[in-house]
Amino acid sequence: MKVMFLLYGDERVWADASAEERSRYMAQHDEFAAFLRNHGSIVAAEALSTVAAATTVRSREGAVVVTEGPFAELAEQLGGFYVAVLPSIDTAIEAVTLLPQYTVELRPVVDVDGL
């Protein structure tokens, strides 16, 4: 199964982290990525810019509205993602325990032929 891991957290945690803490976080990501590779494969993985760099675009009834920045102020922001092919959702859940403290949304990827 292909699954997307959406990583949510408070951007200030990373911004305020010491070099030692950042190194520890990255080591946890390395361990997580190794787990994914050992149990399947990684299709994609990226860190995202801060939410302040976001552009929100809405298209409603032929009108397009562009807003600089996020739509809403949230305690946690989407900071990155992984897409992996794994044998089961249980394997994905097990993998999450290796990451730093994030809220992780797991979403199975729908195989859409022809796109």
At 13, the pLDDT band (50, 70, 90 cuts) reads very high
- DSSP assignment of 19-41 equals HHHHHHHHHHHHHHHHHHHHHSE
The answer to whether the CB of 86 falls within 8 A of the CB of 39 is yes
Helix axes 19-39, 89-96, angle to 10 degrees: 160
pLDDT band with cut points at 50, 70 and 90 for residue 114: low
Percent of the residues in the chain that have a pLDDT greater than 90, as a whole number: 70
Q: What's the confidence (pLDDT) of residue 68? A: 83
Residue 51: alpha-carbon gap to chain centroid: 13
Tell the residue number behind the tokens 């730093």, with chain if given: 100
Instruction: Give the model's pLDDT for residue 5.
Output: 97
Q: Structural domains in the chain?
A: 2-108 (3.30.70.1060)
Cα(24)–Cα(103) distance, integer angstroms = 18
For 62: left if phi > 0, alpha if psi spans -120 to 50, otherwise beta; the answer is: left
